[in-house]
Amino acid sequence: MPMVGPPCRSMTEDEISRAYIATLKIGKESIVDIENYNQALSFSMLKNYYLAKGFHINEKTFDKNYHLRNRDGKYNLLAGLLADDNDVSIKVVRFAGTNKSELVEKSEYGYICLLMAIDKVIARLDVINITKSVLDGSAMRKDKRLLDARCLREAFLNAIAHNDWSSKVSPAVYVFDDRIEIISTGGLPEGLSLEEFYEGCSKPRCPELMRILRDLEYVEQSGFGINKITEVYGRDVFRITDNFITVILPYDPDVMKTTTKTTAKTTTKTTSDIENRILSIIRENPKITVKSISRMVEITEDGIRYHIKKLKKQGLLEYIGASRSGHWEIKD
């Protein structure tokens, strides 16, 4: 039996398991060590973020100060994440109902400096996290949101800070009718136990990225976000495996009731308006593409496909012919 600690004692099954997993991870490189595939990088956005916070930028030492190059002097994956142009995007996916059987809309935020993508997702989440006026215990009305705004922000930023970016998989946000799920890759960082995680102990997977997030005031003290989430929602909102961490934030039931009552008509009206707009556009140009309709209606292509699917089910719309040479036909 393996022994550990002074004085020596038998290791628990959990300690043996974690020690074994750790041996499998030995030699795993940090994103500051891995060479980025694209070496033609610029960092205007990153510099502007720092300047906006009152930092002085030294052009000669910029790459070194922010650990953007590996030991061989090549731009690393951290540099790739923070560059003005990259191949990284964060998906926000909306589903109808409480499972993934029917996709309503998929948006991607990225291909630019990670910080800009973060801002765009936070803004999108703020729109999703609607505010409603509900009755409290004293029969007085007060404004409440679907989710605790601080917890939603912290859950997303925690996913960014602790994601295993070396896997080339970005965090994702899934929006359902009763909850939001935020998933990051990598599981718990090596050497951090589950209990330590819940207690708010922090072991950043990439300290260099965490430092930048702290500099620019996206995150505060290490582990604070986890403490806040468990304080409001409890530990059960976390689903942790060897490869993923998922935070499942349930909507406030009072706000959901109000939303269901007050938005049933407006949702129908909004949906009807969108679908009427799609039909009107198709009447004008029966050979128009989904991409063009998306630009005109100003929702994503997945959103357009969702509404077109509904119109087809209602027998109001049909596509005739091959995908490239065919046309739309409206069934009046």
Provide the residue type at 263 as one letter. T
Domain assignment present for residue 142? The answer is yes
Percent over 90 (pLDDT), the chain:
55
**Better pLDDT: 259 or 44:** 44
Domain assignment present for residue 66? The answer is no
- Predicted confidence band of residue 322 (pLDDT cuts 50, 70, 90): confident
Among 199, 223, 251, give the residue marking a domain's end. 251
Q: Is 75 exposed, middle or buried (0-12, 13-18, 19+ CB in 10 A)?
A: buried
Model confidence at 133: pLDDT above 80: no
Among 251, 279, 296, give the residue marking a domain's end. 251
Among 251, 274, 297, give the residue marking a domain's end. 251
Full-prediction pTM beyond 0.85?
Answer: no
What distances in angstroms separate CA 78 from CA 70, 139, 164, 240, 313, one per listed residue? 10, 52, 11, 25, 47
pLDDT value at residue 275: 86
The model's pLDDT over 177-221, given as tens digits with 9 standing for 90+, comes to 999 999 999 999 888 899 999 988 878 899 999 999 999 999 976
Domain assignment present for residue 82? The answer is no
Domain assignment present for residue 168? The answer is yes
CATH of the domain at 262: 1.10.10.10
Q: Where are the alpha helices (DSSP H) in the chain?
A: 13-25, 44-52, 62-65, 77-82, 114-128, 149-162, 194-198, 207-215, 224-233, 253-284, 290-297, 301-313
Model confidence at 280: pLDDT above 80: yes
Domain assignment present for residue 267? The answer is yes
Model confidence at 240: pLDDT above 90: yes
**312: CB partners within 8 A, 6+ apart:** 318
**Mean pLDDT of the region 89-106:** 91
Do both 237 and 265 map to the same domain? Answer: no
Do both 93 and 199 map to the same domain? Answer: yes
CATH of the domain at 207: 3.30.565.60
Number of structural domains, the chain?
A: 3
Q: Which domain, by its residues, includes 11?
A: 1-28
pLDDT value at residue 164: 96
